[in-house]
Amino acid sequence: MLVSVRVSAASPCLPQAELPAISGPTLSLSGNAELQTAIQNAAAGTTLLLAPGTYNLSSTLYIRTNNLTIRGNGGSCEAVVLNGAGMDNADFGNAPHGIWTDAADLQLMNLTIQNFYLHGVVLNSGAQSPTFNSVQILNTGQQLVKGNPTQYGVGVDNGVVLNSRFAYTNGTPQTDHGAGIGYTNGIDIHAGDNWLISGNRFENFHTPDSSSWWWNPAVLMWNGGQNSVVENNVFINVDRAIAFGLMERNGDVDHSGGIIRNNMVYYAPGQFSSNRIADSDGAILVWNSPNTVVAHNTVLSNGNLNKSIEFRFSTTTGAQAINNLVDAPIGSRNSASFSQSGNLTSADADMFVDAATANLRLNSSAIAAVDKVSVSEYATTDIDGFVRSGAGKVDIGAHELNALSPPNPPTDISGSQL
């Protein structure tokens, strides 16, 4: 039986008190007109501090000045909302996106962006080194975050996404927004190098069988990107969780290098129809991405997928699958090659603290996964940042049951050692 299940949980956003301190000039704002004027006139290095409330945008926020910070001044990321006309509302006026930028060093912090017809945030050529910290982006008609390329292999580099939530709260878009119904991702980065996506939640990126698009990765790094790190995230009821590369290219790779580690991926039982299951591949994809490491992830597919992790295309060489805890096979096709060690493919819900809410931390009954493998240099800490026990053997998957507290930072480091 096909069921529609949406799981939500506490936001990963940090309380304002735990966010980095504000530095440089600050403009305190409390209305749409003030916000638009400030964005047009603020000097580089300015923090735009938004008072709590809902800002119903009649125009996209076009950011052309380098090194601006847009930050909510509420207690959490839910207190300040940049709101559109609705993700399926074609009468969006001058606000198809929440934010569009070609400026470097943009920081978005402690706010929510939601209900836009196309994208929550568009990063265009020039928007290098963006930072998202404690941001919610919800319910957009296409990609929630879109990083556009200048050409193959040239895009927005050095992005950082931390402590944020990307979700559909009442289903994916139901209308065609120009590329077919269901054309969406959480974070879609073309040709980006050196991105870090860490400590976030991705929820309900699952399109119905009637959609034109069935298999949209929640995180997609491709079109010549390299050295992405996607770690410590939770994915709930997504068609695909993470893809490094997606297609074959004549003589080129779609992605290269990078690490996928310490992620938890959960699918509710009965989420996919039999046709969808038959057409499925994996939760984590390494397609045309050589030298990529997939280490210490936990995937509970509950029968929805043919594979948990898949390596694809002959250009995928030097890849590794290490110490992953999954309930579906790890495999390859189209002549991809990878090495594997320490993986366990017989996970079940009883091993976890609360599988139904996607809390895939190990419980004391998970004896098949506890203290079974050698520590990997690629994942010496677990999803919570704790040091893997290292007492001869460590646990399989994203969580270390008997982890050690993180070590104190050293106090005697000179600048040349940093």
- Six-digit token pair at 122? 């568009």
Residues 6+ apart with CB under 8 A from 251: none
Q: What would the pLDDT profile of 329-387 be if each residue is shown by its tens digit?
A: 999 999 999 999 999 999 999 999 999 999 999 999 999 999 999 999 999 999 999 99
Q: For residues 142 and 84, what is the distance between their CA atoms, to the nearest angstrom?
A: 13
Residue 270 and residue 237 in contact, taking contact as beta carbons nearer than 8 Å:
no
pLDDT in the model for residue 406:
65
Confidence at residue 251, expressed as pLDDT on a 0 to 100 scale: 86
Element containing residue 321 per DSSP (H, E): strand 319-322
Q: Residue 185: is it exposed, middle or buried by C-beta count within 10 angstroms (0-12/13-18/19+)?
A: buried
Angular region, 303: left φ>0, alpha ψ -120 to 50, beta rest: left
317-341: pLDDT as tens digits: 999 999 999 999 999 999 999 999 9
Please check whether residue 49 is in contact with residue 29, taking contact to mean a CB–CB distance below 8 angstroms.
Answer: yes
Ranges in the chain, pLDDT < 50: 1-8, 410-418
Q: By the 8 A CB rule, do 221 and 243 touch?
A: yes
| pTM of the full structure | 0.94
Residue boundaries of the structural domains of the chain: 142-411
Q: What is the pLDDT of residue 227?
A: 99
pLDDT of residue 116: 99
Q: Which residues contact 161 (CB under 8 A, 6 or more apart)?
A: 131, 132, 145, 187, 195, 196, 197, 198, 200
